[in-house]
Each structure stands twice: as C-alpha cells, then as structure tokens.
Amino acid sequence: MITEQMRAIAKDLLEKGEVGTVIGWEKGTFWYNSTPLFISKPEQVDKLVFDEFCANNLAKYLLDFKLAETKTAVFVKGCDARAVNRLLQDNQVSRDKVYLIGIPCPGMKEAPKTAQPQDIAGLPLLTKCKMCATPNPVLFDVMVGDPVPDKKVADRFAAVEALEGKSADEKYAYWGKMFEKCIRCYACRNVCPACNCRECCFDANGLNWLGKQNNLPETQMFSMTRAMHVAGRCIECGECERVCPMGLPIMEINRKVIKDLNELFGPYDAGMNLDDRPPLGTYKLDDPEKFM
Amino acid sequence: MKAIAKAKLNTLLDAIAKESNLLVPVSGDGTSKFAPYTQGAQLSFDGRTLLPPKDVFFPQTEKMYKFKTNGMNASVETALEAPRLQVLFGIRPCDAKSIHCLDHVFLTKGYVDEFYKAKKDATLIVSIGCNGPAQPTCFCKSMGVNPQEAEGVDVHLYDLGTDYGVVAKTEKGEKLFLDKYASFFTETTAQVPALADFPLEVNVDGITEKLEKMFDHPLWEEVAKKCLGCGACTYLCPTCHCFDISARVAGDQGFRFRCWDSCMFSEYTRMSAGNPRPSKKERVRNRMLHKLQYFKERYGDLLCTGCGRCLSKCPVNMDITKIIKQVREADLA
Amino acid sequence: MSINTEALPKQPEVTAPAATAIPDVTPKEWIPRIVGFACNWCTYAGADLAGLSRLHYPPTVRLIRVPCSGRTNPQFIIRAFQRGADGVLVAGCHPGDCHYSTGNYFTRRRFLLMQRLLEYMGMDPRRFQARWISGSEGPKFQQVVTQMSEDIKALGPNRKMRDAE
Amino acid sequence: MSEIALAQNPVSPLVPVVCKITKIVTETPDVKTFHVSTLDGKKPFTPMPGQLGMVSILNAGEGMFSITTQGENHLEFSIKRCGVLTDALHEAEVGQNITVRGPYGNGFPLDFCKGKDILFIGGGIGLAPVRSLITYSIAHRQDFGKLQVIYGSRSPADLVFKEDLFENWTKVPDLELNLTVDRGDESWKGNVGFVPAFIEQLAPSPKGDKVCVLCGPPIMIKFCLQSLAKLGFKNENIITTLEMRMKCGVGKCGRCNIGSCFVCLDGPVFTLAQLQNLPPEY
C-alpha cells in the first residue's frame, strides 16, 4: 500500500527528471531485514519497500549527495525528517537540493532470532521506536499515507533518572562496565545524523585527540566527547543505540544531556523547527549562574 | 569414539581450569565472547560467540615494547611475555578456519610474528562442531568449512545430542586433553547426526578469478553507497587482522603498541602525500577484494569463513553473500 | 606563572581521609593536582595579581593559559582527568566582560552541562569547577584555589577515568 | 634476504634496536640527511640498494624511509620535513638516540641491471632512494654500462646531495649528469624546466636494453612515464619505487597492499610492467 505509493512517486520523480537519486529501502538478506536503497532509474522502483523493518535513518546519506548536481529525493519517517532539519540547520545540505517524501511511521519492529517467517504483529517494537514522540514527519514536500496518531510516550527520561539516583561509585561502575565492551567501531558516530563534521576529530589521528588503544580511558573519552558534541543536536532517533554491535545504552547518555539542556536552558527538541538555535550554539544573558 | 555428557561438561571445565588458563564462550550484557572460565559464568555453547576468538592470539590492543628517553638517550624493552598454557575451549569450525587464516598471515612469508606465535604455541584449541546453522546468518558450509568438524585444532568435539564425541586431532591434543582428562570420558558408538539445512547459501566457485577482472567494475560504486564506513564488520570478523602501530607517550617514557585497525576508516591509508583510497567505494572494494581475491592469491585461502558476524551486526545489512552473488552475476562488458 | 615560591606558606599537614583504608595511595603529604584553564584577559591577570600581591594559596594549581574560557574544549577536561588531574578549574571573565564579547556565555552553558555529565558518569562534581575571576580579583583567585584545594583534599586522589600508564 | 643480518630485536621483527644519529647534513631548507649507527658505532644492518628502514624517534612516532646510502659503519636517511615525526627528526641533534628496524622490501633488481646502461631520473627528494643505486653502481663501476642521471628540483636551493651532484659524481667516468630546476635564480646556469620536458629534450636512447630507474612526486612520475614511452623504453625496463602507508614493514599489518602485493615486502621497487598488472590504487 504505502509501498505502492512510494514506488509511484519515485517513478514519477525519476521519469520527469526532477531528482537524480531516490533514497529508500529495499528488502535485505532475510524477511526481517530492510536496508537502504539508492535508485536512479525509473525501472528500479519496484525494489522499493516500506515495512516494519525500515529502521535505518536515511537522512545521513544526504551528505554523500550534497555535491550532486541534481536533486536527491529521500523518504523520511518522523525521526528522519528531524534529522534532515538538523542537516539543514548545520548548512550541510541545502533545502532546494533535497526532495522529502514523508512517511508517517507506525514504529519499527525488532528482528526475530530465526529465519522462519513469523507474524510481524507479534514482534516487539524497537527500543528506539518505543520512545518516539514524533512518528509523523515534521518536514516534507509530499506525504505518503495518513498521519498516524501521536503516541503517548513512555517516560523517556525514566532510565536516566533511575541512574541519576545512584551513588557516584555505582554510576561509575555501571558506565565502566559499558565502556569496557566498546570495540571502537564508530558505528554510532557514522550512523548519527548529528555527527556530520566533514572530518571527525577522532579521525585526525595526528592531533591525538584520542589514542588508539582500546581501553577504558579511551572509550570513556570517546563516548563523553561524542555526547558533548551531539548535545543539543541529538534528535533522539536512537540509531546509535540500535546499531551498536555491543548493545551499549548510548541513548542513556544522550537523553541525560537532553534532559539537562531542557532543565537548564528551557525545553528544546532538536530538529523540530528549522529556526530554533541549538542550545549550545546560543546563550541568554540570564542563563543559570552557578559558577559565580 | 570417546564421549562426555553435555551435563557433565562443567566438571571437566573445572578440572581444566585448575591447571591452565581456560577460555570459554561466555555470554552476558548483550554480547558473547571468549573469557576466562569462572564458576557460575553464563556459558554459551549454543553457537558462535558475537566476538570472535581472534583476540586470544591477537588482542585488540597489545603492548610491544616499552621505552624510556632521557635527553638524547633512549632505551627499549620488549613487552613480550611468556604466556602460560591456556586452553581455548569451544570455538566453532568457522573460527578454527579463521585461526588457520591468521596463521598464514602471522607465521609465514619470511617473518614470524612472535607476539602471535607465543600465544598460539601456548594454546590448546578445543573446538565444537555444529549440526546446523547456529544463527540464520551462518553460511560456513558455502565457504568450504565442514560445520560438524573443525580443521587445525587440537581436539574436536562432535555434537552428538546429549553427548559430545571427543576426538584428538593432534598429538598435543591427545596428550594434554584426552589422556590427561581420560577419567572424564566414556566410550560411545553414537553417530554424528545429519547436518541441517542452512537458510543462507552462496556459491563461491571461480569468485577469485572473476574478481580479478572486476577492479574497475561499476558494481563497487553501487554496493558501497549504503556503507556507513564504520568498523563493525572488521572488528567482529574472525579473520580481519589488519593492525596499526601507535604509541602512548607520557613525558620521558611510554610504550608502543599495536591495535586492531579497520580498512573501512578514512584514516587507514592516509599519507602526507594523499590517500590512495579516498572514498568508501575504494575502501569497500578493498575489503571485499582482500577477502575474496587478494588473500586467496597470496595464501591460497579465502579470507571469509562464513561465520555471518558482519552480516548480523552491520547497521545497514551489507551482505557479503549478496555481494558475492552480484559479482557472479555481473557483466564484464 | 607568577607565584613567588619563596613566599608560599608551608604546606599544612594533611591528614588523609581514608588513610587507613588505602594507605599506599594516599600518602600523608598528598597534595592535589588541579589543572586550571585560565582566560588570558581576566583570570590569568587575576592570578598574576594574586602573585604580585603576595597572596598565599596552596601550590596545587597548574595554570594553562587559553585565549578565552570558551576555548576550553570539553575534551581538555576529560584528558586532564585521564592524565592525572585530581581537579579541573575553568576560569574566565565575568559574563558581560568577555574580551570577545560573548565567549564566556557559551562557556557557561557548555560547562554547566559538562559538570552534570561528569556527575552522571560517576565523577564527583566538586572536582570540576568553573569560576569567573576578573583581572582585578587577585583575592578571589586565591580564595577559589584555596577552596577547591580543600574540597579536593577532602575527596582524596582521583582514580576515576585515569589512564593506567 | 636470508644472508642479510636483520636489525631487529631477537624477540620480534616489530621491536627495534636503539641507534644514534652520528652526523646531520643539511641538504636543503627542508631536507636533512641523517647518518645513523648503532650505539656501539656499527652499521645497524647492511641493506641492498632500494631497501627501507623503519626509523623512530621514540616519543614522536615511527615511519618508513628509504635508505639513501650506507657507509662502512652507518646508514644514511634523507628526510624531508613534512609531519610530526619528520619535524622531530629535523630538530634532533647529533647524538640523539633513535630506533631503527629493517631492512625491509625487495630493493633494486641488481642482477637484472648488471651489465646494462642505466638512466636514473629523480625529482626533488625522490633522488633519495635512487641515490642508493647510483652509489652502488659507482662503487661497482665495472658491473654496469653507461650511467646517466637526470635530476630536477623546484629551485637550485632545493637540489639535494649537492656534494654528490657537483663534486663526487662529476668525477665518475662515463657518468652523465643533467640537472634542471623548475625556477632558476641569478646564479643558476643550468637548464630551467620540468623533468619530463627535460627528458624529451635530452632524448636518452633506450638502445642496448637500457634500464631506467625513476622516483619523484606522483605527478612527475606520471608525465615522465609518458615521455619515456615516447622515447621507446620498455615497461620491463622502467623501475620505480612506491610509497604507501606502512606500519609493520613485514607484511602483517595489511595496510600497504596494492592488490595482493605488499609494498613493504614485495616492493617498494616495481617495474612498470609489474605495476600494470596491479590495481591502480597507489
């Protein structure tokens, strides 16, 4: 249904030559894998699908096309649209070079453990989707399907608050155990639409921002730096946590930062509105004064 | 064939752990890996671990030598330690194949890597066969690995249902495992069950020869588009062995270490004169060609064992089996 | 740094808090190490004034001069803790007095957040402080360093986030 | 390889031996030549011309450099200042301890070159690896035919090995020396122009199976190859040395691969014919 409409729109755009590339999803290895797809010819549109496994945030790929001569069309769910907003705010892509096809998102499902087909309805929602407050795209040129009703979100700061209540040593032990698992694959950084620096400070190894040992101090440094770098820019798409091969609770750090930013400088949701300045990129004369 | 009941395995492991460093597959916290055996640890014998066993011989970070400087003077002290005997218990045939590949790299072609060799020589490897795919993403059978029987190990355990059938593959295995722990084993006539079907299969016949003609093929541009350029595949791969050498300096002393590196990172080949692999197209191509062409040309084996780790954890479902299929179908116009 | 070392007071005997529990790492004479990032225009001058005025404060702080407190990257703080700092101080001009007009307003936001993040990671927030110290506030510099040294002495050596070697 | 003593710690090929800088020659404003001996004054190892050594200032970094020549008791590395490690080397003084491991790589194919005329082409610091073979062929003059050196740099001040260029090599029988600079100055009497054009102007003949040994910046190599092809040099007879990012030097770390070859082990010296069989990824 939505898939058919997607294909029709993509076909139309490509046939008319309005866009050079359409970024969507196709089926992957198994029935529970949907994976990013890039098409540039109308006859390829039949590969496009939209189902319960299109978890990938496609906005980040716009960076690969920012120098393209033609427009790029991209399908955006609620979280993807916020990501596009972020890229626009950072002047990474220009609005007239992208064509956004909005898809209201019912929430994506966890992949099961077996290759045998199962009832999709019985599968649990992805963690990142349970916390989602914006299933409908906030920015689009055209919308496919009807908006889904806004969900009531389980308290997204519950895990953060639970951890805040613990003692310093308990917190340190908790995070130590987490960061010890990190293998430094940088999947969290590479999938993150807020991480859009042309060159990441961690790749500029001559500068030694980060040593190459895989040990606790270095992974702590990496994770905390990344949390500070995406502060005020994290759109809570939860992709970092979803792609982490080691299952680190990265969003528990990002949400802590978001919670603090809200408490300190007023409520702010990144990527909701193009005109809002991210909280660390602006200031008020009457900001909380704790330092004296 | 000798055998031990699966239910009694813990008593055997207890006995081994008393005398040697015993590494077993342990799961917990959303991951599984080979870790020192402790009583009460969550052992994971139902398939391959998420993290490959390569770090047993080739740790992610390994100190090579310490140094001190004093004005113009300097001294170097090697950090190679003589490891004590360790038993690596429960690797799967795909992992056994990967260790065979690592042996090619670290022990042949004129130079022997002593850091690797010291650990390898001090290790008794005990493998366990699989009677079917442990994960949907397993495709070891397609890569020329016999899922039920590992090669290049000291002792192999066949999965006989309620028992493990124990067979020594080397003299070392005979002496240090079968004879030493003989009291734990009984005799069995049970047969290895039939192998279950693998949902994922791929034909790799002639892939190397085909790839030789495909360096400039547009396919690479196509498959690389969705790659994020993270290192998850290379760090989870049991055969990926590329490393970096770097140093930690603190004032007038420090140490030089080697650490895993990933050809998917932009910094990997960067030189002062430029980068021969500037975009992800070149990097994805290099990874695939290294696995399927270059390594075969150099050492005679494919550098993929079909363990499926990259496939299961890739954030964008980059599927090496699909790429192999695309390569086989590609036109060489 | 323009601290006259001869004029420094004799270090008072510090009774280590948990000396019995961890006797080998908390020696009696343990002195905290504080890394201070001082803005060139205000705090660095303030420290200078403290020295010129022969104000006494504990020799715990190592100042690093930065063009503006806003230059201080969060990574500097983490790296300082990793490499052996027991406390980190970021100090700059009072809000409104920034040589670059607005730099320290950003500093304020950034480090309010950073301090909370450090706390969330299990660090004691007292180990990381930011202060506004102008060029004429030599006594305030003295008082801030004295206070922070005492706080950190009470906390003991920092072992969190430390790089092993 | 087997007859060459390796400068490596007996423990592992990756652990170096401590050496010291015994002499520093300032070649140009940004190139220095370092003479390196072991702490007891011996040569760290005896490399073949074209081989490499891994040099490290311990607290700055480690890098692979071509061994430009060797003496009785020392090795020489000519190093251009262009990064963290090379900065540290340029600031070093005589007596500074550094570490060296090697020799690595295949070196120039001496047997192949024997009895033949050789044309050496160098650009800028690219003369450094070529020089190892030039000095070897001068030392074993009877084994080789006529020698010709074509060398160019950006300016007269950037010419490296001035003592060789203007003194030592001018005295060698049957060695023709042709110099060019991109931009001359008042004192410069020689040719002004880029190396490829200078080659075509000189038009060395490929007759008699003449071998050409070439090294320089990539852009120069590219155009020199075109010029050499025009003159009729065979791909099998054009020899060059490559650069790649190397870490281990012994074919393990994986990063200097070009196809299934490792520059540190199978290179850095390749003939053009060999390179044409490798992926163009260097």
Span C9-21, mean pLDDT? 37
- Alpha-carbon distance of B189 to B165, in angstroms, equals 9
Residues 6+ apart with CB under 8 A from B36: B21, B22, B23, B24
Q: For residue B158, what are the contacts with CB-CB under 8 A and spacing of at least 6?
A: B1, B129, B148, B149, B164, B165, B167, B192
What mean pLDDT is predicted for residues C13-23?
A: 37
Candidates D59, D263, D266, partner chain B, best to mutate (most B CBs within 10 A): D59
Contact A264 C79 (CB under 8 A): no
Cβ separation of B242 and D243 shorter than 8 Å? no
C109 CB neighbours in chain A (<8 A) are 264-265, 279-280, 283, 287
Instruction: Kindly state the percentage of chain B with pLDDT values over 70.
Output: 100
The model's confidence at residue D9, banded by pLDDT at 50, 70 and 90, is: low
pLDDT of residue C27: 54
Residue carrying the six token digits 């606790």: A216
* pLDDT one-digit tens code per residue, D184-196: 888 888 899 999 9
Tell me if A29 and B232 make a contact (CB, 8 A cut-off). no
pLDDT at B114 over 50: yes
Give the Cβ contact number of residue B90 at 10 Å. 24
Is the bond preceding residue A104 a cis peptide, omega within 30 degrees? no
Q: What is the pLDDT of residues A32-61, one digit of tens each?
A: 999 999 999 999 999 999 999 999 999 999
* From A169-183, C131-145, D21-35, D161-175, the region with the lowest mean pLDDT: D161-175
Is the per-residue pLDDT at C2 higher than 60?
no
Are residues A279 and C109, on separate chains, in Cβ contact within 8 Å? yes
CA-CA-CA-CA dihedral for B106, B112, B116, B119, to nearest 10? 130
Question: Can you give the pLDDT at residue D92?
Answer: 93
Q: Which residues contact B18 (CB under 8 A, 6 or more apart)?
A: none
Q: How far is A5 from chain C (nearest CA, A)?
A: 45
Predicted local distance difference test score (pLDDT) of residue C14: 36
Run of H or E residues at A6: helix A2-16
Q: What's residue C28's pLDDT?
A: 66
Q: Give the torsion sign (CA, D243, D245, D249, D251).
A: negative
Residue to test with chain C: of A283, A284, A286, A289, most C Cβ within 10 A: A283
For the stretch B226-242, pLDDT in tens is: 999 999 999 999 999 99
Q: Which tokens sit at C148?
A: 């922070």
CA distance D39 to chain B (A): 10
Q: Is the pLDDT of residue C67 over 90?
A: yes
- pLDDT at position A152: 74
Question: What local confidence, expressed as pLDDT, does residue A226 receive?
Answer: 94
CB atoms within 10 A of CB D173: 8
pTM: 0.90
* Radius of gyration for chain B, computed over Cα atoms and rounded to the nearest angstrom: 22
Cα torsion C11, C12, C16, C20 to 10°: value is 110
Mean pLDDT of chain A: 91
Does the distance separating the beta carbons of B267 and A184 come in below 8 Å? no
Confidence of residue D3 (pLDDT cuts 50, 70, 90): very low
A228 in Cβ contact with A261 (< 8 Å): no
Q: Tokens standing for D39?
A: 């702490």
B184 CA: distance to closest CA in chain D (Å): 39
Q: What residues of chain A lie within 8 A of the CB of C162, using their CB?
A: 217
- In terms of C-beta density within 10 A (0-12 exposed, 13-18 middle, 19 or more buried), how is residue B171 classed? exposed
| Chains C+D touching (3+ CB pairs under 8 Å) | no
| Residue D10, pLDDT score | 56
Whether the CB of C56 is below 8 Å from some CB of chain B: the reply is no
Report the b/e string of C148-163 with b at 16+ CB within 10 A.
bbeebbeebbbebbeb
Residues D142-163: what's their mean pLDDT?
A: 91
CA D46 to centroid of chain Cα atoms: 16
- B72 in contact with C at a CB cutoff of 8 Å? no
Task: Indicate yes or no: CB of A215 within 8 angstroms of CB of B61.
Answer: yes
Residue B101 reports pLDDT greater than 80: yes
Give, in order, the Cα–Cα distances in Å from C142 to each of C59, C154, D234.
Answer: 11, 18, 78
Of the residues D79, D257, D258, D276, the best mutation for testing chain B's interface (the one with the most B CB atoms within 10 Å of its CB) is D257
Q: How far is B16 from chain D (nearest CA, A)?
A: 30
Size of interface B-C (CB pairs under 8 A): 6
pLDDT tens track for B170-191: 999 999 999 999 999 999 998 9
Percent share of chain A, pLDDT over 70: 99
Residues C85-110 have pLDDT tens digits of 999 999 999 998 999 999 999 999 99
Chain A touched by C78 (CB under 8 Å): yes
**Is residue B202 less than 8 Å (CB to CB) from chain A?**
no
* Confidence band for B202, pLDDT divided at 50, 70 and 90: very high
Span A139-154, average pLDDT:
86
Is A239's pLDDT higher than 60? yes
At residue A206, the pLDDT reads: 65
Average pLDDT on B65-91 reads: 89
How does A78-98 read in b/e, with b if 16+ C-beta sit within 10 Å?
Answer: bbbbbbbbbbbbeebbeeebb
Q: Residue C3: is its pLDDT beyond 50?
A: no
Q: Measured between beta carbons, which residues in chain B are less than 8 angstroms from residue D62?
A: 245, 247, 256
Find out whether B2 and B178 touch, Cβ atoms under 8 Å: yes
List of chain B residues whose C-beta atoms are within 8 Å of the C-beta of residue C165: 248, 250, 254-255
What are the pLDDT digits (tens) for D216-267? 988 898 899 999 999 999 999 999 998 888 889 899 999 899 999 999 999 8
Closest Cα in chain C to B254: C165
Q: What is the pLDDT of residue C1?
A: 38
Closest CA to D42 of D20, D74, D10, D69: D74
> Neighbouring chains of A at 3+ CB pairs within 8 Å?
B, C
D→B contacts (Cβ < 8 Å), by residue, are 1, 9, 11-18, 20, 56, 58-59, 61-62, 82-83, 93, 95-99, 217-218, 243-245, 247-248, 250-255, 257, 259-260, 265, 279-282
Residue C15 has pLDDT above 90, yes or no: no
- Tell me what ipTM this predicted complex has: 0.88
Q: Which residue has the higher pLDDT, B215 or D10?
A: B215
Q: What is the mean pLDDT of residues B79-105?
A: 91
Torsion of CA A142, A143, A144, A150, to 10 degrees: 170
Supply D274's token pair: 């060999």
What is the C-alpha to C-alpha distance for residues C92 and C43, in angstroms, rounded to an integer?
5
User: D247, B252: Cβ pair inside 8 Å?
Assistant: no
- C29 interfaces chain B, CB cutoff of 8 Å: no
**Residue A119 structure tokens:** 């009832």
Listed residue (D61, D253, D257, D5) closest to B116, CA to CA: D253
How many residues belong to chain C?
A: 165
- Once rounded to an integer, what is the mean pLDDT over residues A225-240? 93
Judge whether B165 and B194 are in contact, CB under 8 Å: no
Q: What is the pLDDT of residues C133-145, one digit of tens each?
A: 999 999 999 999 9
Q: Do C83 and B250 touch (CB under 8 A)?
A: yes
Question: For A204-232, how does the pLDDT look when each residue is reduced to its tens digit (9 = 90+)?
Answer: 766 678 888 888 989 999 999 999 999 99
Whether chain C has a CB inside 8 Å of the CB on B248: the answer is: yes
Interface-testing mutation among A213, A215, A242, A248, with chain B (most B C-beta atoms within 10 A): A213
In 3D, which of B312, B28, B49, B288 has the Cα closest to residue A243?
A: B312
Q: Beta strand D191-192 with B163-168: parallel, antiparallel or unpaired?
A: unpaired
The residue of chain A with its CA nearest to that of B258 is: A213
pLDDT on residue D30: 92
- The residue written with tokens 């004879």 in the block is B179
Q: What letter represents residue C28's amino acid?
A: K
Any alpha helices (H) in D82-217, and if so which ranges?
84-91, 110-113, 127-139, 162-163, 195-202
- pLDDT tens digits along A85-129: 999 999 999 999 999 999 999 999 998 877 788 888 888 999 999
Q: For the stretch D42-78, what's the b/e string if a residue is b when 16 or more beta carbons lie within 10 angstroms of its beta carbon?
A: ebbbebbbbbbbbbbbbbbbbbbbbbbbbeeebbbbb
CB B209 within 8 A of CB B327: no
- Give yes or no for residue B251 having a pLDDT over 90: no
pLDDT at D123: 92
Distance CA A230, CA A225 (A): 9
Say whether D271 sits in a helix, a strand or coil: strand
